[in-house]
Amino acid sequence: MNTKRIAIQGYEGSFHQVSAKYMFGKDVQVIPCATFRQLVKMAEDRERSDGAIMAIENSIAGSILPNYSLLQKSKLKVTGEVYLSISQNLMVNPGVQLEDIKEVHSHPMAILQCLDYLEKYSWKVVETEDTALSAKHIHQHKSRHAAAIAGKLAAELFGLEIIAPHINSMKNNMTRFLVLQREKDAVDDPGANKVSMYFQTDHSKGSLARVLTGIAAVGINLSKLQSMPIPGSNFKYGFYADMEFEDRQQLSKVILSIRTLTNSVKLFGIYKKGKIVKA
């Protein structure tokens, strides 16, 4: 089996890489991308990648709205998902003790997740562009007075010691990642039980309610509904929806119902509901 080349946002050691390893195996070759826009372009390029892993929402911070727009404009299909249980760790170079630390480096979101722990100390907190990159810099500079907040994989890759594990305040912290592949490469999964789509109503009174009633009538579980402004409109909205179904006949009925009640429908992908895994 050929090693997959999968685009990720961020750097080696990031939670995106953890998700890629889970979905494509430990030998997956990750292609770090600075932005999600670059990730989508990389995933669309057959010569450079076999697809991508992209974060779409977090149980604390909510949906990553710009990624929905990128997904809508792309030529990619959602072929899978994984829910990664995020654990943030304080890591240092070998031999560094807690009392040696003077500053802590990490991404602003990771810092926010660990404020309760950080406020116990008088350390200088330095915001960076990526958790894993923070760990890499601590390693490269052989710092004796700085620590990083990042995931376990980053510590393993850069030879750092986790001096304080699981320091995030809320322990139920999960990020949902989507597997994206080119449409021609997407293989139909007979065990698929989830669909992601986008639709626009005619914005008349009760139009969204009629769509939701139609979904309920088929007996499908609407697991997510996210509104987004339609670009160029005067505060009109489109809707991103995730639905879980029991069989393809049920899915066909709900798609037909939604098409009948809306102006436009785009299917992002039909895939198997993801599992929760630990980072």
pLDDT in tens, 29-67: 999 999 999 999 999 999 999 999 999 999 888 899 999
φ/ψ (deg, to 5) at 136:
-60, -45
Report the pLDDT value the prediction gives residue 1, as an integer from 0 to 100.
54
Give 92-101 pLDDT, tens digit per residue.
999 999 999 9
The amino acid that residue 116 corresponds to is: D
194-271 folds as Alpha-Beta Plaits (3.30.70)
Report the pLDDT value the prediction gives residue 219, as an integer from 0 to 100.
92
CATH among 3.40.190.10, 3.40.50.1360, 3.40.50.880, 3.40.50.300 for 5-85+173-183 = 3.40.190.10
Report the pLDDT value the prediction gives residue 230, as an integer from 0 to 100.
87
Report the pLDDT value the prediction gives residue 276, as an integer from 0 to 100.
95
In this prediction, the residues of the chain whose per-residue pLDDT falls under 70 are: 1
φ/ψ (deg, to 5) at 253:
-65, -45
pTM of the model: 0.91
Cα of first residue to Cα of last residue in the chain, in angstroms, is 25
Q: How far is CA 82 from CA 153, 201, 249, 273, 278, in A?
A: 17, 30, 25, 8, 10
Top CATH class of 89-164 equals alpha beta
List of residues 6+ apart from 245 with CB closer than 8 A: 193, 194, 195, 220, 221, 251, 254
CATH 3.40.190.10 domain residues, the chain: 5-85+173-183, 89-164
